[in-house]
A and B are shown apart, each in its own frame.
Chain A
Amino acid sequence: MIFGYPLLSVVIWLPILFGLLVLATGNDRNAQMARVIALVGAVLSFLVTIPLYTGFDRLTSDMQFVVHDEWITRFNIFYYLGVDGISVLFILLNAFFTPLVVIAGWKVIEKRVAQYMAAFLIMSGLVNGVFAALDAVLFYVFWEAMLIPMFIIIGVWGGPNRVYAAVKFFLYTLMGSLLMLVALLYLYMQSGGSFSILDFHRTPLPSLTVQVLLFIAFFMAFSVKVPMFPVHTWLPDAHVEAPTGGSVVLAAIMLKVGAYGFIRFSMPILPDASHYLAPVMIALSLIAVVYIGLVALTQADMKKLVAYSSISHMGFVTLGFFIFNEYGIEGALLQMISHGFVAGALFLCIGVLYDRVHSRQIVDYGGVANKMPVFAAFFMLFAMANSGLPGTSGFVGEFMVIMGAVKANFWYAFAAASTLIFGAAYTLWMYKRVIFGAVANDHVAHLHDIGARETLVFAILAVFVLVMGLYPLPFADIMHASVNDLLVHLNISKIPN
């Protein structure tokens, strides 16, 4: 509690309230009003998160801005919110993306505008809730609730195969979550009747078997969201079918939720199982990095390519987590933030092309640079960042994770570093085929460059990508204490010798 009001509650509920307000504007006759209200709501929701950054105490790993109220007393469930150096970054990232998504959908979405905008605002609030919740049930409620707007977004405004993708997305994630619920109930029993995540961190779990089983239950929930190999197959479908805004939010925010789950639940609650299963996690991560990287190389659909590239980059994140050193974890977290900016930007770029040509196939393009020079320049920057060029945000995280991996095992690092080659290969090759060369066809010949609205969005993102690449300290600095605390937790075995 700071400034005398529960800041985190505002951060969560303000976008949701605005979402409901937008919904109340009704049908498409008031579309413009819905857009304006949505934008105001999104910008305000971002502005209220800024005190989280400015007022954050970087020296402590304790939870800050804590809100702790009674909720369901019967089960000892509290409305318990708080952020540490890890979660605060994701709340900021999420709040930052909401206005961009609203702007990106400004003209493109023409049917049921109010519902579209409302779904994004409500989801934004729910995602903030996921990152801020310190009570396991509260976490679970936000975690599941955010599926509903995403399901609707993909299913209503998505591509031709949207229904299949939406249902697959929902059922995949629900399967994982339900097992997590069982694990949470078990932990509730073990901890003597508390659902506080921080109490779970301290709950003794002396049996390795139990820890491994719980780890698997959490793994089911989080790995699906990350997504890790082999449960990644929903992501390309969901990305391809989702509207641009949906893809951006999926890539920039939703995938982070899964990785955040590992950091908040699996690793500190189950340190022994984490160590015990680390080789498996590392193996799966490396498969994602290398194999999925190769898969990305062969894609003919731009969105699919970026989707696979996301999976590959997220493999880096889980690799960084499970090598258990500071470089690894901080690198992974930076990679998550950077990937949010970069993948979000790439999906917006593809959206720009799709809005004009209505195709995502690489072969339908060629020579776009001749017609859209400004756009091509932005696209270049984001493509470079995606391939991890030094000076862009993509480099920092990858470099740190590779450094961490070298400390753990040279061959991990060796395999992981291959992504620098594959990543560059698939991204730049796509870039070359789409942007360079002679004007491929009539559609491309009739392209017009991006307008002020789109330029603004790309410029903001470009600034962040460059700033984070050149001066990552503000991002790394804030998470330092919390990462150290996490490592301490990880090194205390819960199994008595």
Chain B
Amino acid sequence: MDLLASLSPVYAEIFLLVMVSVILIVDQLIVNQTKTVTYLLVQFSLLGCSLITVATHQEGIVHLFNNMFVDDMMSDVLKLLTYLSVSMMLVYSRSYLLLRGLFTCEFMALALFATMGMMVMISASNFLSLYLGLELLALSLYAMVALQRDSAVATESAMKYFILGAMASGFLLYGMSMLYGATGSLDVYRIAEVIQHGTPNTTLMVFGLAFIVAGLAFKLGAVPFHMWVPDVYHGAPTAMTMFIGSAPKLAAFAFVMRILVEAMQPLMIHWSGMLMVLAVLSMAVGNITAIAQTNIKRMLAYSTIAHMGFMLLGVLSGSIEGYGSSMFYAVVYVLMSLGGFGMIMLLSREGFEADSLNDFKGLNQRSPWLAFMMLLLMFSMAGVPPTVGFYAKFSVLNAALQAGHIPLVVMAVLFSLIGAFYYLRIVKLMYFDAPESHEKIYIQPDSTLLVSINGLAVLLLGIMPGTLMSVCAVSVQQSLLH
């Protein structure tokens, strides 16, 4: 009984694993074209996971399996948000994928496996478990992108994603092995201790660190390791793009926190410089290149790159404030990204992808409500108050300024000015231009409702951002107390 009770922090993971297996079997037994039962089971598993995560929440930090696994407030909050965003992704993509014959059991099972990978990543406190979670996530994503077998573009992007992703994993592993060589451990806390008190070989460590940062940058899609992002975002079916662009960013944030902050805080002088270069380049390349895009998925891909640069600003400022603001940024980004891709899927029909900028022309005349939601999302991405995107930028800029990076902050705001242009262009297309087609928008009740909630959340969180900000800050603070 004690053993069972001591396992409580991993109940959610175990539950999910069981559920995926059940779903895989149940799906074989039920012949149903629309996969309603499977879909409901998947949503039920995510709901179950959330309840378990809440119920098994413990004060303080709990370690498990020889420090392989950690349960703290940050992991709980991030996991809850991950369930939420995966579940939202499924609602958004259901009818889109049904029309394309992709709403299969494989898709849902892969999504859940990816979720599990993220959960492991979020809770890992050892390089091995971190890597394990990362690969579980990555492999599921590769397969999801490749799921549309008859599409050459999708297959191509899956290939690109796989090769570059594998290379990034290689970088990470190589860097990890260097660190292992220098410190003699894979345990995050042990490494921190050795760096703090021991005399590890600094050259070796910094060498390893460079590889780790490069690997992380690959996974985040930060410039100059961003090449895969636009192609994959563009080529993958929009539902998969949405998935890649949402929850994994939360996991990636946890990953950055565990590796750079928890394990290598003392090496901050080294990594914060590296991140600075990545951040500036990402903001510059992301924002400038996005202007030239005519495909909205590609545009959002570049916008993601720019947003990741912004998120890194908080991390590189190296303070608890900064980490909290980065987490807030990641959460807000996920919310906006879900809404943005959700809107694309909502406007798509059978055999038609609303992924060109022109498809948004005159949306205000076709559906004022959807146009207004998209307006909120776009202004939020541009960081214009009173939407929540402003507070995300506000808090990371504040953290960077407190750390004394004034030129960096000035550069960041100038790049976000450039960024405002292409978000504004979407608003312009929706409101100022005449529609190209007057075809009625097929309203799917569930995703329309969700997109409304999503858009309004961006506004309401913008009016009352305090709670979410505090939750992020407190959870980062708690998990760094050890």
- A residues lining the B interface (CB < 8 Å): 26-27, 71-75, 112, 115, 137, 140-141, 144-145, 147-148, 151-152, 155-156, 162-163, 166-167, 170-171, 174-175, 178-179, 181-182, 185-186, 188-189
Top-7 shortest CB links A-B: A178-B413, A141-B385, A72-B466, A155-B432, A144-B385, A185-B401, A145-B386
Q: Are A179 and B410 in contact (CB under 8 A)?
A: yes
| Additional pairs, 14, CB under 8 Å, beyond known A27-B368, A72-B466 | A72-B391, A72-B469, A74-B466, A141-B385, A144-B384, A145-B386, A151-B424, A156-B431, A167-B424, A179-B413, A181-B394, A182-B397, A182-B401, A186-B401
Most chain B CB atoms below 10 A, which of A27, A167, A178: A178
Q: Are A171 and B417 in contact (CB under 8 A)?
A: yes
Q: Are B390 and A72 in contact (CB under 8 A)?
A: no
Q: Which residues of B contact A151 (CB under 8 A)?
A: 424, 427
Determine the residue in chain B with the shortest Cβ distance to A175.
B417
Determine the residue in chain A with the shortest Cβ distance to B391.
A72
- B residues lining the A interface (CB < 8 Å): 364, 368, 375, 379, 384-386, 390-391, 394-395, 397-398, 401-402, 406, 409-410, 413-414, 416-417, 420-421, 424-425, 427-428, 431-432, 465-466, 469-470, 473
Report the Cα distance A19→B99, complex, angstroms.
39
Contact residues of A: prevailing secondary structure: helix
Q: Are A74 and B432 in contact (CB under 8 A)?
A: no
Q: Which residues of A contact B402 (CB under 8 A)?
A: 189
A185 to chain B minimum Cβ distance, whole angstroms, is 5
Report the Cα distance A167→B395, complex, angstroms.
27
Q: Are A141 and B420 in contact (CB under 8 A)?
A: no
Q: Are B428 and A166 in contact (CB under 8 A)?
A: yes
Q: Are B424 and A170 in contact (CB under 8 A)?
A: yes
Q: Which residues of A contact B414 (CB under 8 A)?
A: 178
- Pick from B385, B406, B465: contact of A145, CB below 8 A: B385
Determine the residue in chain A with the shortest Cβ distance to B328.
A74
Q: Which residues of A contact B401 (CB under 8 A)?
A: 182, 185-186, 189
Report the Cα distance A26→B367, complex, angstroms.
11
Report the Cα distance A59→B375, complex, angstroms.
46
Report the Cα distance A156→B375, complex, angstroms.
14
Most chain A CB atoms below 10 A, which of B401, B421, B425, B432: B432
Q: Are A188 and B473 in contact (CB under 8 A)?
A: no
Determine the residue in chain A with the shortest Cβ distance to B416.
A178
Q: Are A163 and B432 in contact (CB under 8 A)?
A: yes
Q: Are B398 and A162 in contact (CB under 8 A)?
A: no
Report the Cα distance A143→B431, complex, angstroms.
22
Q: Are A163 and B390 in contact (CB under 8 A)?
A: no
16 inter-chain pairs at a CB distance below 8 angstroms, sorted by A residue, are A72-B391, A72-B465, A72-B466, A141-B386, A145-B384, A145-B385, A148-B375, A152-B431, A166-B428, A167-B425, A170-B424, A171-B420, A182-B397, A182-B406, A182-B410, A185-B398
A13 to chain B minimum Cβ distance, whole angstroms, is 11
Report the Cα distance A141→B402, complex, angstroms.
21
Q: Are B379 and A148 in contact (CB under 8 A)?
A: yes
Q: Which residues of B contact A163 (CB under 8 A)?
A: 428, 432
Given A145-B384, A145-B385, A185-B398: A71 and B431 interface contact (C-beta under 8 Å): no
Report the Cα distance A174→B427, complex, angstroms.
15
Q: Which residues of B contact A145 (CB under 8 A)?
A: 384-386
Determine the residue in chain A with the shortest Cβ distance to B420.
A174
Q: Are A174 and B417 in contact (CB under 8 A)?
A: yes
Determine the residue in chain A with the shortest Cβ distance to B372.
A23
Given A148-B379, A175-B417, A179-B410: A188 and B386 interface contact (C-beta under 8 Å): no
Report the Cα distance A170→B426, complex, angstroms.
14
A223 to chain B minimum Cβ distance, whole angstroms, is 16
Report the Cα distance A151→B375, complex, angstroms.
12
A479 to chain B minimum Cβ distance, whole angstroms, is 29
Report the Cα distance A71→B428, complex, angstroms.
32
Q: Which residues of A contact B386 (CB under 8 A)?
A: 141, 145
Q: Are B470 and A73 in contact (CB under 8 A)?
A: yes
Q: Which residues of A contact B368 (CB under 8 A)?
A: 26-27, 115
B367 to chain A minimum Cβ distance, whole angstroms, is 11
- Pick from A26, A137, A155: contact of B428, CB below 8 A: A155
- Pick from B424, B428, B469: contact of A74, CB below 8 A: B469
Given A27-B368, A166-B428, A167-B424: A74 and B410 interface contact (C-beta under 8 Å): no
Determine the residue in chain B with the shortest Cβ distance to A70.
B466
Report the Cα distance A290→B35, complex, angstroms.
74
Q: Are A188 and B379 in contact (CB under 8 A)?
A: no
Q: Which residues of B contact A140 (CB under 8 A)?
A: 385
